[in-house]
Structure 1
């Protein structure tokens, strides 16, 4: 069949060999990681956040995912470890002055550098394009290159000056081994947080309940104390009026009220602010009669 007209078929046209394994373009892979959100696959734009595993996301996409986790979204496996806003950190990035972004007019009349990153290291100046290792600090969210942290060894952030430790450093898009270490670190931190919460709850349960002040000040119906003496609100100094009665008929002894004017430690200027002071009282001559104004009065 076929091969007429003097055509000579070749071997690859007649024999089908094994399919070649498709290789992923490294440039495309780097651009997908460092220029696009790991959840929505949209271009990264401020505000940009990162998780404890070192992945980059748009903050809007993470908030939409947390508000409605039932919606169908691509790449939801990349955010299953994010339970709330406490599991992410907003990054403090440094813009690249050479990055033109959307302002660039792509006409194809000039060379386009695909390795040009949107952000750079504020210390060394390396571009954040995937060719260099970058990391961020969990304390302040500042992003630096790994070379800057190795060359300038310090315990204070180079950008904002906040102190940090080696355990606060999170590598962005590290190797598989580094990713496993970050996952173990995250699980250990969450396990410690659970143990602290359980201890606090147990301590709260072991505490005795607070006493009701009404029960402690309750007096029997006959109004007599253990020594046989009568006690009422009117008998106590500094109180006036009859004692209050509870629902069961028992009397309730209230604390005695002390007048502000009787406090010797207070000054006269302070006492004059209240209506109980002598300066606030008026005589009969100073008080005026009650006048009712009607439309006919005017």
Structure 2
């Protein structure tokens, strides 16, 4: 991943596929998990990195974050100039669009960078450097104020937002992995494997932690089959509750009811990769 000239954006043009409401699950998780950080900040800035051929995801991110933190501003960043030009008519109070890439062309350190479906086309070997670059741009932690700093949310979803998997990273590096789904679309939890982010998707093989996790997830799902008579949501909640016996699940029932589960990154990190 290199730029041809120092003044040019860092990265490559993505396919730009986007749909309204595609990132709603990710947005709602961000608002719940990071809303307090955004509210505490005097001028909270969030970046929608690689929003694609249409600006819907940036428009929606602003609306969802402002429900939790009304002062939030969103900057949509795209490496393709024509996409930036097409998005300009959608600018409004708190929402602007900029030409750029992984260098994040905003003057301040953002409290949030969301990079959804951006690294899918990159090689796995390139991911660590991209993460490091983006994390270095985040707002730093401030323990005196109880702040853990900015958040990078990087992951993948399907075209209509039924299935997501994302990694959340702070200035110090990766923290957690979240699996999120519309429960009615799920036959078994391992269906989410096809949406693993680039750092994990090629590691879903025997001997790797993420493969073991998905195997145990499917086993717990099968064991929870009797709860299906109470609905898929109750079966999912029971499944995740059983997972907590062996895996470091870091959220609770209020998120499980949304069709989510969040696990500490260190438990799923690829073999041979340093754990934060």
TM-score surpassing 0.5? no
Q: TM-score range by the shorter chain?
A: under 0.3
TM-score (norm 1): 0.20
In proportion to residue count, which structure has more helix?
2
Higher strand proportion:
2
TM-score, normalising length: structure 2: 0.21
Which one has the largest radius of gyration?
Answer: 1
Higher relative contact order (CA 8 A, sep 6+): 2
